Amino acid sequence: MRQPVLVARLAVRELWMTFRLLVLLVAFVGTSAVVILFPAAPAITLARLALGLGVATVLASGVAAWSLAEERTAGRAGWMVSRSVSRGTYLVGWFVALSFITVGGILGAGILGWLALFSLPLRLDGAAFVTSMAAIGATAAAAIACGLAAGAVLRGAFAFGLAVAVCAGLGVAAWQLAGPVPAVPGAAYLLLGDLGSASVLPSAMRAAGVGLVLAAVLLSVARVAIERADL
């Protein structure tokens, strides 16, 4: 367990020094800041919060892709692997670091969003809200895994573009459906937007499960990709 933790700490340090950590936190927490600073009707407030978190998730995927691609091309990944850190451990360390930052951002956004919604004339189910945010966290983890898979294959800008295109495309596909379908990636954000009009707790739980399964699958794909990548 020491090696993944060491890689995760180094990854956080690298993200901090390159300001990518700040970008992620601002993207997630800034979403709630907009909700608080520009009050609106409950339905609009929920829609703004969901949209902001969706955009921040797409950005997190792009940052994950760009970061791993830069680590490979700069030779830092190869240096770590040459010091007896396996490629799989290196990948897991980066996944943990990015997920930790993203979950922290979602937690901050959720707290600020709840405070903004609490002041509105809206009967909001606390359990459904928390579960919906958890589903968004699971979906964000899948987006990060998608970005890492792209970063293990492509170089910087190309990896960033592919990850953003895939995640944004899935989000648009989920939105184009008539309603939030838990089995479709991105449904968690639509469920958050529907909190004021329907009971979404069961669907949010299913969406969280789908997100976790998808994250595991994409992380396995990234593992296969980095094992064959040129470091």
Q: Where are the domains of the chain?
A: 2-228
DSSP helix/strand/coil, 77: helix
- What are the counts of helices (DSSP H) followed by strands (DSSP E) for the chain? 9, 0
CA nearest neighbour of 13 among 88, 83, 101: 101
Mean pLDDT for all residues in the chain: 87
User: pLDDT digits over 69-124, tens only?
Assistant: 999 998 888 888 888 889 999 999 999 999 999 999 999 888 888 887 776 666 77
The pLDDT assigned to 226 comes to: 92
CA nearest neighbour of 189 among 66, 28, 26: 28
The pLDDT assigned to 203 comes to: 85
Q: How far apart are CA 37 and CA 165, in angstroms?
A: 30
Predicted confidence (pLDDT) at residue 62 exceeds the cutoff of 80: yes
**227 alpha carbon, distance to own chain's centre:** 23
Q: Which residue has the higher pLDDT, 124 or 154?
A: 154
The pLDDT assigned to 11 comes to: 92
The pLDDT assigned to 186 comes to: 82
Q: Torsion angle of alpha carbons 32, 37, 43, 46, nearest 10°?
A: 0
User: What pTM, to 2 d.p., does this model score?
Assistant: 0.92
Q: What is the mean pLDDT of residues 39-64?
A: 87
**HSE, side-chain direction, 13 A CA sphere, residue 193:** 18
Using a 10 angstrom Cβ sphere, with 0-12 exposed, 13-18 middle and 19 or more buried, the burial of residue 86 is middle
Q: What is the mean pLDDT of residues 64-68?
A: 95
Predicted confidence (pLDDT) at residue 16 exceeds the cutoff of 80: yes
User: pLDDT digits over 194-221, tens only?
Assistant: 776 667 888 888 889 999 999 999 999 9
Predicted confidence (pLDDT) at residue 146 exceeds the cutoff of 90: yes
Helix (H) or strand (E) holding 66: helix 42-73
User: pLDDT digits over 168-200, tens only?
Assistant: 998 888 877 755 566 778 888 888 877 766 678
Q: How far apart are CA 208 and CA 26, in angstroms?
A: 24
The pLDDT assigned to 29 comes to: 85
Instruction: Classify residue 58 as left (phi > 0), alpha (psi -120 to 50) or beta.
Output: alpha
Q: Torsion angle of alpha carbons 76, 145, 13, 19, nearest 10°?
A: 100
Predicted confidence (pLDDT) at residue 166 exceeds the cutoff of 90: yes
Q: What is the mean pLDDT of residues 48-54?
A: 89
Predicted confidence (pLDDT) at residue 56 exceeds the cutoff of 60: yes
